[in-house]
């Protein structure tokens, strides 16, 4: 019976030693990760400082960039524009079929297009044809 009890003590000691080694390994990994993290933080800070130093604080360029992005977003239509669109849809529903392709969602070369607001489209003549550039 004495050997059985001694074996359990040896197993407990082995298990405790294994756990201690694993905990030490985990602490070492955390220590090295912390050191790597500090190096990474230092490097990122250095790179950000270089970017900020190289960037020209050009107010005009910033405004042009803002306008460029804003002009490519869908426009926010006013209540008056929404009401006008509803009237147009109602009028198109009253037109008999076969009269005008644009009345049914298609565009023809003779179609008239209503520009909702100035500045959202530009008509450019290129290579003997007209091109309509828009941001919506």
- The domain segmentation of the chain, as residue ranges, is 2-55, 60-134
Q: With contact defined as beta carbons under 8 Å apart, do 123 and 132 qualify?
A: yes
With 50 as the cut, is the pLDDT of residue 2 above it? Answer: no
pLDDT, tens digit, 9 for 90 and up, residues 101-127: 455 556 666 777 777 777 777 777 777
Residue-averaged pLDDT of the chain: 72
- Give the integer Cα–Cα distance in Å for 84 and 99: 22
- Give the integer Cα–Cα distance in Å for 18 and 14: 6
pLDDT, tens digit, 9 for 90 and up, residues 3-28: 545 556 777 888 888 888 888 888 87
Listed residue (66, 65, 80) closest to 117, CA to CA: 80
pLDDT at res. 74:
67
Q: How many CA atoms lie within 13 A of 78 on its CB side?
A: 5
Which tokens go with 27? 């602490």
Q: Is the pTM above the cut of 0.75?
A: no
Q: With contact defined as beta carbons under 8 Å apart, do 75 and 136 qualify?
A: yes
């Amino acid at each position: 019976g004495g050997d059985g009890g001694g074996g359990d003590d040896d197993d407990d000691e082995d298990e405790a030693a294994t756990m201690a080694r694993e905990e030490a390994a985990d602490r070492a990994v955390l220590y090295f990760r912390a050191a790597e993290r500090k190096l990474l933080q230092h490097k990122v800070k250095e790179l950000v400082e270089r970017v900020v130093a190289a960037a020209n604080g050009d107010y005009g360029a910033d405004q042009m960039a803002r306008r460029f992005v804003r002009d490519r977003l869908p426009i926010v239509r006013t209540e008056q524009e929404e009401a006008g669109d509803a009237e147009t849809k109602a009028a198109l529903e009253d037109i008999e079929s076969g009269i005008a392709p644009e009345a049914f969602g298609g565009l023809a070369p003779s179609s008239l297009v209503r520009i909702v607001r100035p500045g959202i489209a530009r008509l450019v003549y290129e290579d003997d044809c007209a091109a309509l550039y828009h941001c919506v």
